[in-house]
Structure 1
Amino acid sequence: MKFTPEVMLGAPRRSAGVPNPAGTLILYTESTYSFQTHQKSIELRVLEVETGDSHELAKDDEISDLNWLDDDQFACLQAEKDGTTSLYVASVSKCLQKIEMGSSHYVAGTVDAMAGNLKLAKLDDEGHEYAVVVSAAACPDGTLYTPEKASRKTQSTGRLYSSLMVRHWDHYVTAQKSCLWYGKLSKRKSRDGKYKLSALSNALKDTPHGCPVEPFGGTDSFDICPTGIVFVAKDPELNPALNTKCNVYLIQLQDWLQKETSASRQVVVPGFEGACTSPVFDPAGKKVAFLMMKKNGYEADRNVMFVTSSLSGQSNLQAQEVLEDQKSYIAQEGYKGLWDRSPQSISFSADGESLLATAEELGHGRLFEIRMHLSTPLGREIRQLTDHGYVSGAVPLRDGRIFVSGSSLVDNSWYAIVDARADPNASVSGSLTTWSHSNSTEGSKFGLRKKQVSSIWTPASNPAVNEEVNSIVVKPSTFDPNSSKKYPVAYSIHGGPQGSWADSWSTRWNPAVFAEQGYIVIAPNPTGSTGYGQEFCDSIRDNWGGDPYQDIVNCFEWVGKNMPEADNDRAVALGASYGGYMMNWVQGHDLGRKFKALVCHDGIFSFAGGLLATEELYFPFHDLGGTPWYDPGFKEADKASSNFASSTLADWRKWDPSEHLTNWATPQLVIHSSKDYRLAISEGLAAFNVLQARGVDSQFLCFPDENHFVLKPENSLAWHKTVLNWINKHVGLPAYTKEDPEGEEFWGGARSEKEEVADMPAQGKPET
């Protein structure tokens, strides 16, 4: 099989696995899109760990948020077509025996709105009662935002705003906010032995808080235990468009049926003013751990792990940095800081003695164990538990083992069980993994192989920070190291800019798709990339077109000198978001003349025009060193304390692509979507207009119904057709498709009236 965009987009997509407490069964959903029928199918499946057999439990239901009640029964949410949400309870064994509806699975309750992010906590030893929390939108008065309330019944569609954050990601901001709703799932008084969901109450009613944190917050924004809810929310005293500051709050509940909650208490962390995520209770419900950043306004600051000593008392809570007692030791050893990685998520181990943290490191997403109660010189021990691929989630099992979900550049989903108990000194290279299961047989179902992937290290622009820059290399599956054949090169620049290319699967920017067209793909991680130390990440501030650009130049030149199989005379470059900015920056500089063609997806054309129109203004104000205005009336003390008064318009122009338009000459494909409110579509139109007016070979691809990402399968396929045809033409490879872009076939064929109606958003249901 040749790995093509159709194969990638049509392949079954498996969710993160949800193991039962014993680790014997794994629940997951699997979605598949058919380009023949233009429909998506969804299956709820269970995987038997012992045999590796997978069984279908349900099909074509919008099921999400799987939670085990015991080793056989589970609860989940199902989105209904009328805009409501059902909470189902099911038995795996009875479903597999094909026992009729009502006995094998049943509706335990209904939420009269779209709800998600279900979490449960057992309230008694027998498992008769569970605390329940879901997220759902609330009206300004705290009541549930139902489909009936969703449609404005005014003659005008206008909205008037008087503060920042007019729109966010892909929607205009309204008065509704996401809230946490709590209740009880119980069968204690049930005559038929079935669980029943109580009425739900808004835990955030009469507060200024919203949770989960938009736009991407989910279950990582809160946690529950039998005695309460811990959650993170934006600081209500600060404008969310100008600040990243979040706070951690605790709500204690004695009765999950009570209609009103006690006042929330804040977890205070002196000196830390940034974003926070991943609040989690320990297994006993006595402590809370969470991640928090130090700097307000900087969304890529290093996440620091904190844990509270106790949840008792009435006043606000204090938290201590988990690795704080390592600082003096590490300083003596001459390190640049303590553990210089930024955890992405944390959870407690089954015994509560350790934290499990996922973090990027040198092109991988690894799982680490931080043991907190050891009589060692450090007082803490950091242990790496995985060494390959990219871990996306970890679930502790009750016996101390850890279930892990992840992916790699050639495998779209793998599950594993890691056992770190037997030998504390065991190597991570295979001996800790006691079981694994791959959705694609480690890529072989796609015709991909691990040996296609390697990496190179090239000179860094600023060796005082990092001496070398890492790049991931993906070669065609047919590559023969003994052949003299030369391959065109595709340089792929990641977004962020504080992001990275890593050994993880993607259906939006998948290096293997380009490699299988006949390219050697080089994916650099230049200055600003994550996973190579916080100083390297931070160094991109007010440096967008400086060191990162030179890192890419150095990489290009190194490849030309050291990789004879790479034909740098037939090279193209592609990038999205910050990578799109870099395409426009490269276009105006010497490196741009060395590429046959460029692809700019959702890139920045002009700093003043593009970044002042974004929704989260704290991002450009931090990354570009301040605002494009300067008030000479500021006192020196004010300047030192202000996040937003240290820059000028001249500083912004320093790295502005639109300052170098006289050099634009390389053929360029520009892609932008109408619902991208992070970078408005005018940025793409401006770049295309300049290219056209200058007589440069160029195309403009637009999706009116997509945001910063192209997510719909048919749109994604059209994206890939357009991009591959564009770059293949300019390096002399055959066109990916001979379909005429003026014809319907190129765009997925004509839409039926039924499809048009089905694609219309339901009343009150936001487009996603």
Structure 2
Amino acid sequence: MTVRAKKFTPEALLSAPRRSAGLPNSDASKVLYSVSTYSFDKHAKTSEIRVLDVKSQETSLVTDKSGSSEPQWLDDETVLLLHEDEGGVTHVKVGPADDFKDKSYIAGTIDGPVGNVKLTSIDNTTFGVAVTGKAKLNGDLFNPEKASKPHTTGRVYTSLFVRHWDHYVTENRNAIFLATLYKEGDQYKLSGLINALKDSGLESPIDPFGGTDNFDISVHGLVFTAKDPVLNPATHTKTNIYLSASNTFWLDIANKIPEFFQVPIYNFEGASSSPVWDKEGKSIAFLSMKTDGYESDKNQLFVIPDYVSPGWVQHLFPGSTGKGSWDRSPQSITWGNKILYVTAEKEGRTNLFLTPASAFLDGAHSSSPHLLVKGGSINDVKVLESGALFVSSSSLIDNSLYSLIPADHSTRISQGRNAYTLPVDESAVDPASTELTAAYVSSNSRGGSSFGLSRRQLDEFYWPGSAPNTSIHAWVVKPSNFDPDQKYPLAYLIHGGPQGAWTDSWSTRWNPAIFAEQGYVVVCPNPTGSTGYGQDFVDAIQNQWGGLPYEDLVNGFEYIEKNVPYVDTERAVALGASYGGYMMNWIQGHDLGRKFKALVTHDGVFSMTSQLASEELYFPFHDLGGPLWSNSSSWAEWDPSRFLDNWATPHLIIHSELDYRLTMNEGLSAFNVLQTKGIPSQFLTFPDENHWVLKPENSLKWHEVVLDWINSYVGLAKYTEVKSKN
């Protein structure tokens, strides 16, 4: 960012450059990344691919051509990227990073839209390439711009999954396409694409959020995860790991893809994810859950030591019960030199852990991986040739931070040294400190200062949980001009999930600092059901949607009343989305609802029976203890619509038409009740948004309506009125 925001407003949030995870070259002297910026003056988004010179801290443009994306290093100076063009085609372009505009060339053209590019080096002149795209029934890549248009809009379905997230399911399915990129003279050329999943009955990546984390390639083959083809995805979460490999894989695929092998994971019937090859293309690591139908079961770590014997699968940290001795749920895996790095949530942060190869190769099992990096939320890790780690992360006040962990980190950790912490800014590294601080590489927001934010605004506290032997953790975000002698209205933010958490991470949808800069003290609690506090705490949400979490929130409000003198609980508002929206509707019908001046429900649950219209039925079936017809009492017990007699607090309802997870009728029903009862209320909807509001102009409208609504009930100026005067 080149311009400091005078105040962190929704416009500042939404127009700030959004930077991808960094992709370092071999020694991290240069970092390749993409960045997009939205202009509310021009009502347009610009996207660029840039290179950061770490030593000088200067960046140079690779390309700003519309449609360019997914840059990759071919070597320390040469970049490959995808470029969408007219007719729906995708060009694979190659060129020098420092003169891409004039010296790049098209290595190949793919007849359709693709993404999620991955590369693996086969030899000095050849790369294996994988991309993903929609495939037609015959296995060919689907190009929507060239597809014939039907004369009717009618669709007939004979099984579940009529629609998913924000779209209706069609005959076209995600597939992984393979090719080679080989050198011919001084230029690279792309071979023809081969649909690796053709005629397999499998689909990968898995909709709606699957991407590069759903598959991986190496010199020896392809590994991926896909839904079990025998089970209906609307009522089951089971996914399997499939492997296609050989010693001459990239030569073999020209004739036939080596047969898929379904990796056996005994006694694990849930979702398997994040398959990753090691650097040599010999071993594979992946994650798996025990329970089918439970998307928030604990991920556990597995390794196939040698792809030649894919039936030999080692379970890391299994424990005596099979539930796993490590009480964390890893989210991603990165291979180092005989080391596995995994990210996992721990008490409101996404930290980095490591486990040495001895944990699975020599049978020398420890009880858990070692904590390596803590603080903020790590979203990507790259291992350099030296063994150093390049880490991309964010925090509640910084939207993109690049850091470097030195190559001797495993030795230091094995000596019992403290875990590394992420640097706040370039000046944060103190050589005299006993803490191990990661080396600063780059911050997109200069440690939050470009937004007028700082770590001084952040705090956290705990209060006793409603269940025995539990504590509830909450993040606290204060205004940047905070004065401890003043009193501030409370904004109580309830997260979705319910198996989710407020973490020390950046968000452009629900950013606590936006509310803090309006003049609130923002409290973001992680009640029963939240992730990052042990699996028992997560699992306790089952059959307790309006029980233990609600009691935790009541206890939290009382704790704030008694122990936080700078918060005025007489001027309190509460807001939540998804499960947080459910909780707003539940609170409205219970005593805690009378403590708030106003409520905001974004895409929440109004009636439990309406969950039968959702696409992923396994979710309510699990959390409510079975289908409605076999456990109607649980569905009724936690139904917010049973308590409409008590609804009285002013309430803003937000619900968008493309939300197929929690359908539009949920929001309309709540608003109709409020209006019929004469309760002050508003309804905001977007016909072109799903469960989230993602388009910048729509998101700005969302922020304006929400802030105007809550500000007007706590004595703060409406946001749009202040904006119009500036």
Instruction: Pick the TM interval, shorter chain.
Output: over 0.9
- Residue 427 of structure 2 corresponds to residue 434 of structure 1: no
Alignment of 1:414-563 (within 5 A): 414-419=401-406, 420-421=409-410, 423-424=412-413, 425=415, 426-430=417-421, 431=436, 433-464=438-469, 466=470, 468-481=471-484, 483=485, 485-563=486-564
Displacement of 1:43 in angstroms is 1.1
**Structure 1: how far apart are the matches of 2:105 and 2:242?**
35
Structure 2: any 5+ residue segments left out of the alignment? 1-5, 422-435
Displacement of 1:66 in angstroms is 2.2
Alignment partner, residue 645 of structure 2: 662
Structure 1: any 5+ residue segments left out of the alignment? 631-647, 747-768
- Residue 37 of structure 2 corresponds to residue 36 of structure 1: no
Alignment partner, residue 370 of structure 1: 355
Alignment partner, residue 567 of structure 2: 566
- Residue 139 of structure 2 corresponds to residue 134 of structure 1: no
Match of 2:296 among 300, 309, 330: 300
Match of 1:246 among 239, 248, 259: 239
Classify 1:488/1:621 alpha carbon distance in 2 versus 1 (closer, same or farther; 3 Å).
Answer: same
String of CA shifts for 1:644-692, please: whole Å, max 9, x gaps: xxxx222200000001010010000000000000011000000000000
Give the alignment's TM-score, normalised by structure 2: 0.93
Alignment partner, residue 680 of structure 1: 663
**Structure 1: how far apart are the matches of 2:19 and 2:480?**
24
Alignment partner, residue 343 of structure 2: 358
**Structure 2: how far apart are the matches of 1:136 and 1:345?**
23
Classify 1:490/1:381 alpha carbon distance in 2 versus 1 (closer, same or farther; 3 Å).
Answer: closer
The residue type paired with residue 588 of structure 1 is G
Retained in 1: the 8 A contact 2:328–2:346?
Answer: yes
SS at match of 2:620: helix
Larger mean Cα displacement after TM superposition, 524-533 or 278-287: 278-287
**Structure 1: how far apart are the matches of 2:271 and 2:693?**
27
**Structure 2: how far apart are the matches of 1:47 and 1:421?**
27
Displacement of 1:259 in angstroms is 4.3
Alignment partner, residue 321 of structure 1: 315
Displacement of 1:463 in angstroms is 1.9
Displacement of 1:309 in angstroms is 2.4
SS at match of 1:344: strand
**Structure 2: how far apart are the matches of 1:256 and 1:739?**
66
Retained in 1: the 8 A contact 2:88–2:145?
Answer: no
Match of 2:59 among 48, 54, 76: 54
**Structure 1: how far apart are the matches of 2:609 and 2:148?**
36
Classify 1:88/1:696 alpha carbon distance in 2 versus 1 (closer, same or farther; 3 Å).
Answer: same
**Structure 1: how far apart are the matches of 2:164 and 2:378?**
29
**Structure 2: how far apart are the matches of 1:254 and 1:33?**
41
Alignment partner, residue 641 of structure 1: none
Alignment partner, residue 272 of structure 1: 268
Matched residue count: 697
**Structure 2: how far apart are the matches of 1:432 and 1:376?**
32
Alignment partner, residue 181 of structure 2: 185
String of CA shifts for 1:266-320, please: whole Å, max 9, x gaps: 110110011111100111111110001110000000000000122115xx62311
The residue type paired with residue 658 of structure 2 is K
Classify 1:259/1:674 alpha carbon distance in 2 versus 1 (closer, same or farther; 3 Å).
Answer: farther
The residue type paired with residue 166 of structure 1 is V
Retained in 2: the 8 A contact 1:198–1:257?
Answer: no
The residue type paired with residue 210 of structure 1 is E
SS at match of 1:600: strand
**Structure 2: how far apart are the matches of 1:460 and 1:229?**
46
Retained in 2: the 8 A contact 1:401–1:421?
Answer: no
Retained in 2: the 8 A contact 1:571–1:596?
Answer: yes
Displacement of 1:149 in angstroms is 4.8
Retained in 2: the 8 A contact 1:404–1:416?
Answer: yes
**Structure 2: how far apart are the matches of 1:429 and 1:421?**
11
Alignment of 1:328-367 (within 5 A): 338-349=325-336, 351=337, 353-367=338-352
Alignment partner, residue 627 of structure 2: 627
Displacement of 1:379 in angstroms is 4.7
Alignment partner, residue 149 of structure 2: 152
Match of 1:207 among 197, 200, 204: 200
- Residue 174 of structure 2 corresponds to residue 174 of structure 1: no
Retained in 2: the 8 A contact 1:458–1:558?
Answer: yes
**Structure 2: how far apart are the matches of 1:244 and 1:705?**
28
Alignment partner, residue 14 of structure 1: 19
**Structure 1: how far apart are the matches of 2:629 and 2:623?**
15
Match of 1:698 among 681, 689, 709: 681
**Structure 2: how far apart are the matches of 1:391 and 1:493?**
22
SS at match of 2:12: helix
SS at match of 2:554: helix
**Structure 2: how far apart are the matches of 1:212 and 1:707?**
20
Alignment partner, residue 389 of structure 2: 402
Retained in 1: the 8 A contact 2:598–2:710?
Answer: yes
String of CA shifts for 1:382-403, please: whole Å, max 9, x gaps: 2222121100011111110111
SS at match of 1:615: coil
**Structure 1: how far apart are the matches of 2:411 and 2:233?**
47
Displacement of 1:554 in angstroms is 0.2
**Structure 2: how far apart are the matches of 1:43 and 1:67?**
14
The residue type paired with residue 387 of structure 2 is G
Alignment partner, residue 640 of structure 1: none
Alignment partner, residue 159 of structure 2: 163
**Structure 2: how far apart are the matches of 1:134 and 1:278?**
16
Retained in 1: the 8 A contact 2:358–2:365?
Answer: no
The residue type paired with residue 225 of structure 1 is S
**Structure 2: how far apart are the matches of 1:448 and 1:205?**
51
SS at match of 1:682: helix
SS at match of 1:620: helix
Displacement of 1:256 in angstroms is 6.0
**Structure 2: how far apart are the matches of 1:379 and 1:472?**
32
Retained in 2: the 8 A contact 1:356–1:367?
Answer: yes
Retained in 2: the 8 A contact 1:358–1:368?
Answer: yes
Give the alignment's TM-score, normalised by structure 1: 0.88
SS at match of 1:673: coil
Displacement of 1:372 in angstroms is 2.5
